[in-house]
Amino acid sequence: MTLQPAERQFFAGEQPLGFILFGRNIQSPEQVARLCSELRDAVGRNAPILIDQEGGRVQRLGPPHWRQWHPPLDQMARAGDLETAARASFLRYRLIAHELLALGIDVDCVPTADIARPDTHPFLRNRCFGEDTASVVTGARAAAEGLMAGGVLPVMKHIPGHGRSRADSHKDLPVVEATAETLRETDFAPFQSLADLPMGMTGHLKYLAFDSERPATQSPRMVSLIREEIGFDGLLMTDDLSMEALDGTVGARAAAAIAAGCDIALHCNGVLDEMRSVVAASGALEAPALARANSALDRRPEPQEIDIPAVEAELHDLLDGEVYG
């Protein structure tokens, strides 16, 4: 898969902040590295390149070229106590960062800071780090630190909390009926503890206690809550605008999200005509969103040295050999 001339021309003219890769873009290490270079060359700068590489059900890079991981919730359970879980999570995402940066990918849409519940929809449940605030914060914080130690920025998701979803937001709009007090004490709590992370992604859910009409991605009330109550002042992007939890055209979806206070509209299906409408609806990146974007990208760290065999051996010992899926 290579960048097509029409795409190159579009990106050069419109100057998106960055790019996100999916399984359809992945063939081999050499091809992915070349694609990353082509994307950056098209815009003439070191644009961030994102991917969803959680490990488990959601990982765009897999065998035979890259490691296949157990889902985060499964690994946390195997680790047992929180101290072991934190170290294992750090090592896991340090290895993932090493794989990503070797390709030119410098942002990973991790950690998922949602709290898993018995009725959390299967599309999400085992992607979480735990069933309580302490477990989620422990695993998610360690994951973010592991990525950053490897030179990769984390994207915390799905603000302000997706764990109560009993629907798949790729297909339907989940509606959360919990009280404001309950949400503040549970679902929102991990995000408050992780609010210093550089990037975050909204969830496409409707929280009746706060806004009975609009999902969080398009709700000024919910974005205000994310900023003021949760305290997240990093770069806030939408979840994929192509997901069917949202109504209307992708252009209308983007316009509503930006109007609500999201900084970045994330469009993921790769259809050029839809990309054009999203760009037209979103407008140029201006202050204060531009300042948040620059601040987040300025935090892209230099990777620390890593001894791959030693990291793998330690992770193997921590998890009694149950490391890879």
> What one-character-per-residue DSSP string does 156-200 give?
EEEET--TT--S-TTTS--EE---HHHHHHTTTHHHHHTTTSSEE
Active site residue 170: yes
Of 168, 170, 233, 316, catalytic: 170
For residue 67 the two structure tokens come to 């490691």
The C-alpha torsion from 193 through 196 and 199 to 205, rounded to 10°, is 30
- CA dist 296 and 159 (Å) reads 17
Residue 239 is among the residues annotated as catalytic for this protein? yes
CB under 8 A, 24+ apart: contacts of 5-14: 6/272, 7/42, 7/272, 8/38, 8/42, 10/272, 10/275, 10/276, 11/39, 11/42, 11/43, 12/42, 12/43, 12/44, 14/279
| Alpha carbons 21 and 8: distance in angstroms, whole number | 15
Catalytic residue among 52, 187, 239, 263: 239
CA–CA distances in Å: residue 266 to residues 200, 241, 251: 12, 6, 11
Where do we find the tokens 């009725």? 119
Q: How many residues does the chain have?
A: 325
Residues tagged active-site: 170, 239
